[in-house]
Structure formats: C-alpha cells, structure tokens
Structure 1
C-alpha cells in the first residue's frame, strides 16, 4: 500500500498511524508517477485538485485554467491528500468511507 501525500500533513499522518503497512511517498520530494496521476484523475476528476489549498490561492487565473494533470505535476502540493494506492485500486482522502474500506473491523 502506497500513501501519496506530504510528511507534514496532519491528515496524512493520521492515515499513516492507522495504516502501519503503508509507505509514505512525499509528493514534494518524490512526486506521483504520471500513470498513477492519470488513473486518479480518471477516477476522481476535479476532486483530485485541492482548490482550498494555499498553493491554489497563490496561482494566477491563467495557471488555474491549465490542465489538471499539468498543474499537479508542476505543483504536487495541489493534490488532495492522501491518495492511497492499494492492490484493489485508489482511494482519495481519509474520510469515513476510505477508513471503512481500508481498516480492519
């Protein structure tokens, strides 16, 4: 299980604490493989881009209008976190639905 996120993100830390077998990939340092980003965009669409982030607010209107894949490659911190990759597929965020799917009962 791979958790794509930021090492200093509170939500990512909560998820890692509950998923001890997960490996954190810091998107600022290592990035997200293009094929994973493409699959995540196909599955989650616009929800993958965190429009409430500080990074998003710092972008110009012209930059915001760019293709989501390019935006996420240029500004990895724009991705909603965590993006969790398992053998069963991709999960976005650390909400109740994701927890129910990934945590043992």
Structure 2
C-alpha cells in the first residue's frame, strides 16, 4: 500500500494526489495537520533521504522560527522535535512505496517509481 504524508491544502501535495488519482494509484493519505507525524516515521525517512532533506528551510514556518531555534537544528536529534511540533516545516509530500521513500512531487520520478509510461 502506498502511503502519502503531507498537508491537504499544500499545492504540491494536491499535485501529487491528483497525479496518483489520474494514474489509478491507490494510496492512504495522512495529513500532518490532523494526525501529526511519529518520530518513527521521521527516523525511517531520514534513513532513506537524510534528515536535512526533510527540513523545508525555504518555507514560512522555518522563517518564522527564532534565530536560536533555527541555529539549534544541526542534526536529526535536534531537528525531529521541531519537525514534530511544526509539521508544516516538513518538505512534502512524503510518499512511501514499499521500501522506497519519495520526497516532493516530480512527474517523471513518480512515473518511474510507479512504473507508469
């Protein structure tokens, strides 16, 4: 089963979900805003992608953090509590496809991952 994590009103998440729907890919969606994200998920994603890739430093949430908090995010151990509290700071969507983890939305990458031509 494909699992998609993100925020329902995020434009990138909407594009990804629309693409999955259009190509008949069944998935389960978990909204960070409603359900949060478990540390176990962050650990798994960081193992697959690196913790740095999960932190959206271009977004409004990151920019609104105090300089002290921003400078304290130096590794997975310091990043995860912030990401769990401020879930909108996680780059999205995060797609779990078996053992593969895909971050963000790119049509070509999705087509390859889901074996769609």
Q: Same fold per TM (> 0.5)?
A: yes
TM-score (norm 2): 0.81
Question: Once the 2 structures are TM-superposed, how far is the Cα of residue 103 of structure 1 from its aligned partner?
Answer: 5.2
For 1:100, which of 84, 87, 112 is the aligned residue? 112
* Alignment-derived partner of residue 5 in structure 1: 6
* Alignment-derived partner of residue 36 in structure 1: 41
Q: Which runs of 5+ in 1 are unaligned?
A: none
Which structure has more helix as a fraction of its residues?
2
For 1:76, which of 68, 73, 87 is the aligned residue? 87
* Alignment-derived partner of residue 29 in structure 2: 24
Runs of 4+ in structure 1 off by over 3 angstroms are none
Aligned length: 105
TM-score (norm 1): 0.89
Q: Encode CA deviations 1:58-80: one digit per residue, 9 max, x unaligned.
A: 00122111311111111000000
- Pairwise CA RMSD: 1.5
